[in-house]
Amino acid sequence: MFRLCRICGTKANWSCVCSSVFICDAHLATHLAETGKHDIRKASVENKRHFQEEILKRISQIELCTESIQNSAKNIVASIIKMQASAVIRLQAKKKEYIELLKNTQTDESAEEALKTIKTGFFCEALEEVPNVETLKSFFMQNFVEEYDLPEEKIELGNIDYGKDLLENKYNLCIEDYIGPVDHIAKDNQDKFLVVASKDFSLHLLDLNEKKQLKVFRGHTGHITSLVFNSPLNLIVSSSTDETIRIWDKTYKNPHIVIKSEFGTVHSLGISTSRKLIYAGCENSSIAIWNIQAQNSEGVLQGHSSKVIIIIISSDDETLISGGSDNKIIVWNLQDLQIKTQFQLNSHLQSLVLLPDNTTIISSTQDKIISFFSINENTKTGQVQNLFESANSLSCSHNGEFVLLSTNRKINLLTVKLKKIENFTQNSPNKINTLLISADDKTFILGSNDIKIYDIEEKKIKSSLNFGHSDKVTSLAISSDGKKIISGSIDKTIKIWNLDTQELEGVLNAHTDTISDLHITKNNSNLISASYDKTIKIWNLIEKKLEGNFTGHYGKVMKIYITKSEDHIISISEDKTLKVWNLSQMKCISNIQGMNNDVGILVLSNDENYAVTGSDDKIIRIVNIREKKIDKVLEGHNAGITALELSSDNNFLASGSLDKSIRLWDFNKRIAVGVFNGHEGKVDRICFTGDCRFLASKSCDGRVKIWDVRNQKQVYEGKNDRKPENWVKRFMEIRFLFRF
């Protein structure tokens, strides 16, 4: 409840307005010694205000919960009354039928006739208890309010994607520095920011002036097909083969909006700033129109006979140009949404640009021809063919004097007035995917396997955008004091990041292959790293130097685990062994054979006597560490194991798989006790609640599910918005935060 000291994390006694920091007595002198103008005040007033805000927040949450319960109760009562009425009406109708039959039994003949209309058997019984009333009772009898201490956040290799996202959101620090092959790039009007769409379906927001990455946007589950950066609206809009359009707030203050496409994959995007509309070129040949503010559809434009691959909005916001794989260019009037004119091409359309005059269109086609079209004259005004291969992408200068044409590995320059093409760059070592010209027409940005900035006048590379690691981050570790983050990468390096300054503090170089796992000791003085180079290394984090080296594995070390006492390391490797290492003696004391060479998951029992591993061979192995043998093999999944979790009481083991299922095992009896089906993609994360009553699962299908372990049924489903507290706020029987 109290403000905490920024240095040691204990209760703060002082506040300083110089940078809105809070300091304890022990570190007051340290803070005053720092540069800057200080104004120290007692923190009691701030603590009081903070405490009052917290109480008011809790009261507000209780009021919302109360309202939700009352609404639920009203709905339940209304449903019961409706069902009661329906049941009683059916019973009364049957009773009326029997009364009529009773009237027809006055004579023997009529009684005999009536008897023929009814069955010989009869069943009707008074119900003593309403079925499943216990479920209703358990909902209303639970403790809706509970106070608890949050568990310490852990970031594990199996949790690497969420770990990156958590760190980026919490500390505004980008750990994922490698962007990888670039599919699309977009920039703001002032050339301050660049958005890059990567092959791993993520978007990266870069600061071009400071040459650093600001944010990574994740959410798409398929390749990015189009990307637009709208500076006036501060919006980034992307589309993907996952058949969604996502709208991202460039300031990342608001959660992104997801629009599900009704017309298949969206291949192209355009934004009308004045109308606040998105125009999406779709797989089914239509152009869908979406209102950004209302978040609803405003109709479609029909004109193409095949998918719409290019959309351009004119600078005056009055015209839309669309190009389709039907080799047709259509010009639309955005005021009445009618077709102004259209042009038919003789070959497959590759790219389009609209000159700044908003009247001239330039196209490139597969037959290596660059064509010029006049919108006002409704005619083709010229063409040029001086290419050895067709231009995949066109980018027009802001003054309209030249257009850059990119082929697979080369950039050419087209002079618009002379309609002349000249070579601009030598062959690139990698395929060119996209390019943009700066606002001053002096440089252009090229997206390939990396990002390069070229000087147009000097025709040479001005700079490259590299951010820390030169390849993907594979593992993360955070110090217990929350001040340092360590990242390991495919580039064989380990980097140390300071969370306070958000600066790189150091680089550890000794491994000769990908870093697979990282662990920091509790005192934050040592780091243990595992690598595909078959070694485990011990590092001194204070002096940033290597202190020890474990060799003995004959294959890649996939995963390591440090015991609670931090005197032993457990490792699994591609050499099909599990090894136990003594840290003080710096040697291997146990070698257990029989693992699979692609084991990627390792969890330990509470007493650390058993290790549980999962691998791509569909098998879960329970290893008795003390007896140095495999105690039990659990089989049942139809595909590789992707997630493992032991309940806190070690009674249950849960496993997730590529087969989209979750299996529940009795860990003590070593038998299967249940199967949970419902996900449409691989299960990549599972977690038990603290009381072991519920199990939460996350899948690459973008859904989060919560399961009742005892009744073995699903009790909640929601989308994965990477905010665990949102997963449980609608399901009040779960009263803690999942740490996915």
Closest listed residue to residue 687, CA positions, set 653, 714, 730, 733: 653
Residue-level pLDDT at 535: 95
- Min mean pLDDT across 10-24, 356-370, 555-569 is at 10-24
For residues 715-729, give the mean pLDDT.
Answer: 54
* pLDDT score of 593 more than 60: yes
For residues 586-607, give the mean pLDDT.
Answer: 83
Closest listed residue to residue 224, CA positions, set 208, 211, 210, 236: 236
Beta-sheet strand order (sheet of 402-406): 393-396, 402-406, 411-415, 420-423
For residues 324-334, give the mean pLDDT.
Answer: 94
* pLDDT score of 466 more than 60: no
* pLDDT score of 538 more than 90: yes
Q: Which amino acid is at 452?
A: K
Residue-level pLDDT at 224: 92
Task: Extract the tokens encoding 70.
Answer: 């009352």
DSSP assignments along 184-210, one per residue = EEEE-TTSSEEEEEETTS-EEEEETTT
Query: Scanning the structure block, which residue is given the tokens 């999944």?
Result: 637
pLDDT band at 396 (very low <50, low <70, confident <90, very high): very high
Cα–Cα distance measured from residue 231 to residue 244, given in angstroms and rounded to the nearest whole number: 22
The whole-chain average pLDDT of the chain stands at 82
Residue-level pLDDT at 166: 62
Q: Does residue 713 or residue 739 have the better pLDDT?
A: 713
- Tally of CB atoms within 10 A around 18: 15
For residues 46-73, give the mean pLDDT.
Answer: 80
Backbone φ, ψ for residue 221 (5° rounding): -115, 15
Q: For the purposes of burial, counting CB atoms within 10 Å of the CB of 725, is it exposed (0-12), middle (13-18) or buried (19 or more)? A: exposed
Share of the chain above pLDDT 90, in %: 28
Q: 667-713 pLDDT, tens per residue? A: 999 999 999 998 888 888 888 877 788 888 888 777 788 888 888 88
Pairs from 65-73 (Cβ < 8 Å, separation ≥ 24) = 65/144, 65/145, 65/732, 68/732, 69/140, 69/144, 73/140
Cα–Cα distance measured from residue 359 to residue 337, given in angstroms and rounded to the nearest whole number: 18
Most confident range (mean pLDDT) of 120-124, 289-293, 407-411, 460-464 is: 289-293
Cα–Cα distance measured from residue 740 to residue 158, given in angstroms and rounded to the nearest whole number: 10
* pLDDT score of 733 more than 50: no
Sign of CA pseudo-dihedral 46, 48, 54, 57: negative
- Tally of CB atoms within 10 A around 108: 8
Residue-level pLDDT at 151: 45
Please state, in angstroms and as integers, the Cα–Cα distance from residue 277 to each residue in 229, 235, 245, 585, 598, following that order: 14, 12, 13, 67, 49
For residues 113-123, give the mean pLDDT.
Answer: 75
Cα–Cα distance measured from residue 368 to residue 349, given in angstroms and rounded to the nearest whole number: 10
Cα–Cα distance measured from residue 343 to residue 335, given in angstroms and rounded to the nearest whole number: 21
Task: Extract the tokens encoding 191.
Answer: 């050339």
Share of the chain above pLDDT 70, in %: 84
Residue-level pLDDT at 175: 65
- Min mean pLDDT across 64-68, 271-275, 557-561 is at 64-68
Q: Are strands 443-447 and 587-593 parallel, antiparallel or unpaired?
A: unpaired
- Distant-in-sequence, close-in-space partners of 101: CB < 8 Å, separation ≥ 6: 114, 117, 118
Q: 472-481 pLDDT, tens per residue? A: 788 888 787 7
Residue-level pLDDT at 723: 45
* pLDDT score of 155 more than 60: no
Q: What is the 3-state secondary structure (H, E, C) of 263-279?
A: CCCEEEEEEECCCCEEE
Residue-level pLDDT at 45: 61
Residue-level pLDDT at 19: 53
- Min mean pLDDT across 30-34, 191-195, 200-204 is at 30-34
- Distant-in-sequence, close-in-space partners of 103: CB < 8 Å, separation ≥ 6: none
Q: 619-656 pLDDT, tens per residue? A: 899 999 888 888 889 999 988 888 898 988 888 999 99
Closest listed residue to residue 534, CA positions, set 597, 589, 593, 604: 597
- Tally of CB atoms within 10 A around 233: 16
Contact, 391 vs 404, CB < 8 A? no
Cα–Cα distance measured from residue 396 to residue 329, given in angstroms and rounded to the nearest whole number: 18
* pLDDT score of 724 more than 70: no
pLDDT band at 174 (very low <50, low <70, confident <90, very high): low
Contact, 704 vs 691, CB < 8 A? no
List the end-to-end C-alpha distance of the chain, in Å, as a whole number.
25
Backbone φ, ψ for residue 36 (5° rounding): 120, 165
* pLDDT score of 300 more than 80: yes
Task: Extract the tokens encoding 399.
Answer: 């003054």
Domains of the chain: 636-740 (2.130.10.10)
Contact, 333 vs 314, CB < 8 A? no
pLDDT band at 739 (very low <50, low <70, confident <90, very high): very low
**At 164, which helix (H) or strand (E)?**
helix 160-171
Closest listed residue to residue 283, CA positions, set 326, 247, 227: 326
Q: 65-92 pLDDT, tens per residue? A: 888 888 888 888 888 888 888 888 988 9
pLDDT band at 55 (very low <50, low <70, confident <90, very high): confident
Most confident range (mean pLDDT) of 7-16, 422-431, 517-526 is: 517-526
pTM over the 0.85 mark: no
Contact, 353 vs 334, CB < 8 A? no
Q: H helices of 340-411, where?
A: none
**At 79, which helix (H) or strand (E)?**
helix 44-103
* pLDDT score of 373 more than 90: yes
Task: Extract the tokens encoding 223.
Answer: 């390749």
- Min mean pLDDT across 132-146, 433-447, 454-468, 655-669 is at 132-146
Q: Does residue 424 or residue 267 have the better pLDDT?
A: 267
Q: How many alpha carbons lie under 13 Å from residue 344 in its C-beta half-sphere?
A: 2
Contact, 400 vs 356, CB < 8 A? yes
Closest listed residue to residue 547, CA positions, set 556, 536, 538: 538
List, in sequence order, every beta strand (DSSP E) within 345-398.
Answer: 349-354, 360-365, 370-374, 379-384, 393-396
Please state, in angstroms and as integers, the Cα–Cα distance from residue 10 to each residue in 151, 342, 461, 732, following that order: 17, 70, 51, 32
Q: Which amino acid is at 200?
A: D
Task: Extract the tokens encoding 482.
Answer: 């929350």
* pLDDT score of 38 more than 80: no
- Min mean pLDDT across 79-88, 138-147, 197-206, 398-407 is at 138-147
pLDDT band at 436 (very low <50, low <70, confident <90, very high): confident
For residues 490-511, give the mean pLDDT.
Answer: 84
Q: Which amino acid is at 721?
A: D
For residues 59-64, give the mean pLDDT.
Answer: 84
Closest listed residue to residue 491, CA positions, set 503, 477, 508, 505: 508
Closest listed residue to residue 39, CA positions, set 26, 23, 59: 23
Residue-level pLDDT at 380: 93
Contact, 265 vs 243, CB < 8 A? yes
Q: Count the residues in the chain.
A: 740
* pLDDT score of 197 more than 70: yes
